[in-house]
Structure 1
Amino acid sequence: MSRAPYNYIIPFGTADPERVKLIGSQRESEGGALSANLFKLNTAATPTLRLHHGPYDFRASPNPGTLSDACTRLTVLQNYSQALCDLWRKTQHVFVESYFDFIRHSLDREQVNLTEDLAPYNGLYNYKDWSFSALRPLPRAHLETETKTFIAMDFIFWTGKTLIAIDIIDFQTPTRARLTELETLIKNDVVVISVESTKLTRDRDTYLKLILPKPFHQFWDDEVLPQSPFKPKISKILSPRHLAF
C-alpha cells in the first residue's frame, strides 16, 4: 500500500478518488484546510477515528448549533454519512442505518451504568452523549496501492491500530479481480469484513453486533468524557470512572 512512510491519504464519499486527492493536495499546498472528504492517516500516530472527529462539511445541514440533544445530532451525522454513500447502492444505506442503530442500542443496554458514571457532573452530560465516541464510518472509501491505483471499499474504519474495511457482498459472485484486490488489502494488514447483504437487510444492527470486532463495542471505554463535533471540547477534566471516588 502507499505509505509515506506510514501515511495513507484516503478519499471517501466519492466515485473519483483521484480528483478528491488532487483537490485536497492543492488546498493543503495553499495553506487551506484539508478536504472534508479526505482522511489523512499516520498508522503510527493517528488516534482512533470517532464520530466526534471532523472535518465535517455541514453547509447543507441545519445549523448544528440549534441541535440541542444527542439524539438529533446523531441523526444529523447518520444523514451526513448516508449522503456520502452511492445513491444506487441500497445496501450501503442499510449499513449506515444499521450501524447507527447499533450505536443507539449499545448505549441503551448500558444506560444505568453510564448514567451513574456521569452523575457527578450534575446533568452536564446524558449517557447518549457517548454516541459520538463510536467509530466513524467513511463511506465509499478508497485505499491507494503501490501501483497508484485505488481499491474501493463500501466503508473504512480506523480503530487507532487497525484499518477495517467493510465489503458488502450482494447477490453476484465476486470477480477474480475483486478477490485479488481484497487479497492485496489483507497482505497489507487491512482487516476485511465481509457483510452479507441478505443478512444485513434482514437482521440490521443485530447482525452487525455479531460480526463487528471488539473495537466497535463499548466504544466509550477509552474516552475520558463525551465529546461532540457540534460543540467545543471540554478538556483536562477527569472522568469519575478514572478517579478513586
Structure 2
Amino acid sequence: MFKDFKNLLFPKLCACCDQVLLKEEAFICTFCRHELPLYANFFDGHHDLHKILYGRVQLERAASLFYFEKKGPIQALIHDLKYRGNKELSFYLGSWLGEILFEAGWQRSIDVVIPVPLHRQRMRERGYNQVEGFGKAIAEKLSAKYTDTILKRRSNSKTQVFKSRMARSEVIGNNFYAEHLQEVSGQHILLVDDLVTTGATLEACYLALNEAEGIKLNIATMAITK
C-alpha cells in the first residue's frame, strides 16, 4: 500500500517519452519499447564498429542495442540515464543486451567485462558511472568477471557526443591508462560504453588495454549513431 501511495505522489516516468508508466511497465513504456530503433545488423557479422574502427583497433566482435539519432528516443533515454539520476536504467539495458549476447553464444568466450571509465570529478558530480550497471548486468548474463579497476581516465573532458571526428581525436592521447594489466593478460575483454559516434574513445581505451599481452577485444554499447 505504501508503495502504491509513493507511486501516486512520485509516479515513475518513461525514460524515452516522460509518460507515466503503468504498474507492469519498467523504465520504458510499452509503446516506446516497440518503437525503439533496435540495431538491425547484430547477427549478420557486419557491425558498423568494424568499419568505424578499421585499421585503428583489432576488434573481435561488436554489439549495440540501439541506433542513436539526435532528438530521438534514444537521446532522451541516455539523457535520462546520465543526467536525471536513473541509475537502474543502466542495469535494465545491460540485462536486455546481455540476453541477446547469451543467445549468440558470447558466454563461451568473454572472460572479463570492463566499462569505459569516468574521471573522478565527473564521478563525484554524477555519483555513478552510467555504464557500470550495463556492464555488470552483461557480465552476470555471460558468467564473466566485471572489473572497473583496470582502465582509468586522466582527462575530465566535456561530452564528445556531437563533436566532429577531428574534435573528438583529442581524447586519444594520454586520456586513458591501464593498471594491473597482468590480471587480464591473454583474456577476451568486453569493453562496454553508452554511445559510440566516431569511435575515438573506444580507440583510446583499446590503446591502453592493448599494453596487456595477448588480449582480444570485444565491444558492446547501448547505442551507435547512424
**What TM-score, normalized by structure 1, do the two folds share?**
0.24
Which has the greater radius of gyration?
1
**What TM-score, normalized by structure 2, do the two folds share?**
0.26
